[in-house]
């Protein structure tokens, strides 16, 4: 099985992330729907994974020995679809149907309709437990495949995640990597005003995880972290990626109202200019 774009440089990954962000803005504007803030915060993470880290092949999306990528924050489907298109899993033209009636590209990703989607996500608190299950399965199969799961920080207020975090630590799942998109905002408010998460690194560590905090928009830092996994043998890995919601677009950055707001035509033009 061939690994996708394993030789991509940091600058090439950054270019991919810029293109993913631009296309993401376009499809949300066209659809009149989407979660643009969380899409933009995660673009560097997804670009780094798909073009420099994951052992996946768009020509063989169901290869049993592929790495698994699970996007638990399934409402941020736009950035997942644009990344899958950039990586060759789906045609770019399919993005023009985003959120349309009957489209495969639903607001929440569907593994039965979209190649490269590992599990249906969207009900927050489900993706990480599923990822724990896939990591256990790999251990039972004596397989080197790894599972990477992206969770939103607000999503970590769901109790099911902490049950999964406890189970992963207990089982020593060093083939599991949880990435927290730590942009500090959730629908309607800041995470710390809603139900405080910090010290998040200490909480993961208390459950038996090896933890690092990185700048989630620094591709070199992301590459260094992902290439170092597992951080410790016998312990699952947690990467807390400090990000900015709406990264790259000045009027969206760190603004809670842009959780699922749609840009106007004029705002779309400005966003695309800023992301060029």
Q: How far apart are the first and last CA of the chain?
A: 34
DSSP 147-200: EEEEEETGGGGSHHHHHHHHHHHHHT-TTEEEEEEE-SEETTEEHHHHH---SH
For the segment 13-53, what is each residue's pLDDT rounded down to a tens digit? Answer: 999 999 999 999 999 999 999 999 999 999 999 999 999 99
Return the biggest CA–CA distance within the chain. Answer: 54
Phi/psi at 147 (5° precision): -120, 125
Phi/psi at 151 (5° precision): -120, 145
- 202: helix, coil or strand? helix
Class of domain 10-274: alpha beta
> Taking 60 as the threshold, does the pLDDT of residue 5 lie above it?
no
Domain boundaries, the chain: 10-274
The label of the residue with tokens 């840009």 reads: 263
CA–CA separation, 270 and 265 (whole Å): 9
pLDDT of residue 1: 42
Q: From the CB of residue 60, how many other CB atoms can be counted at a distance below 10 Å?
A: 13
This prediction's pTM: 0.97
For the segment 127-155, what is each residue's pLDDT rounded down to a tens digit? Answer: 999 999 999 999 999 999 999 999 999 99
pLDDT-derived band at 4 (thresholds 50, 70, 90) equals low
CA–CA separation, 42 and 216 (whole Å): 8
Mean predicted lDDT score pLDDT of the chain: 96
pLDDT-derived band at 2 (thresholds 50, 70, 90) equals very low
Peptide bond into 88 cis (omega under 30): no
- 68: helix, coil or strand? strand
What percent of the chain has a predicted confidence (pLDDT) above 90?
Answer: 96
């Amino acid at each position: 099985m061939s690994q996708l774009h394993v030789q991509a440089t940091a600058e090439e990954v950054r270019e991919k992330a810029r293109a993913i962000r631009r296309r993401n803005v376009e499809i949300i504007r066209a659809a009149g729907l989407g979660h643009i803030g969380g899409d933009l915060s995660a673009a560097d993470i997804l670009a780094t994974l798909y073009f420099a880290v994951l052992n996946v092949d768009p020509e063989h999306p169901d290869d049993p020995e592929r790495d698994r990528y699970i996007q638990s924050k399934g409402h941020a489907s736009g950035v997942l679809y644009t990344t899958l298109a950039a990586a060759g899993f789906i045609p770019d033209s399919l993005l023009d149907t985003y959120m349309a009636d009957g489209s495969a590209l639903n607001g929440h990703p569907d593994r039965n309709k979209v190649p490269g989607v590992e599990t249906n996500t969207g009900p927050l608190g489900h993706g990480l437990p599923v990822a724990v299950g896939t990591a256990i399965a790999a251990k039972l199969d004596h397989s080197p495949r790894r599972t990477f799961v992206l969770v939103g920080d607000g999503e970590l207020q769901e109790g099911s995640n902490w049950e999964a975090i406890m189970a992963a630590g207990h089982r020593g799942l060093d083939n599991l990597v949880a990435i927290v998109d730590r942009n500090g905002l959730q629908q309607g408010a800041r995470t710390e005003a809603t139900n405080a998460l910090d010290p998040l690194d200490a909480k993961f560590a208390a459950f038996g995880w090896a933890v690092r905090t990185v700048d989630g928009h620094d591709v070199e830092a992301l590459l260094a972290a992902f290439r170092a996994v597992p951080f410790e043998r016998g312990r699952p890995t947690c990467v807390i990626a400090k990000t900015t919601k709406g990264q790259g677009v000045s009027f969206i950055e760190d603004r809670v109202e842009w959780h699922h707001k749609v840009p106007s035509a004029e705002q779309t033009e400005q966003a695309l200019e800023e992301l060029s």
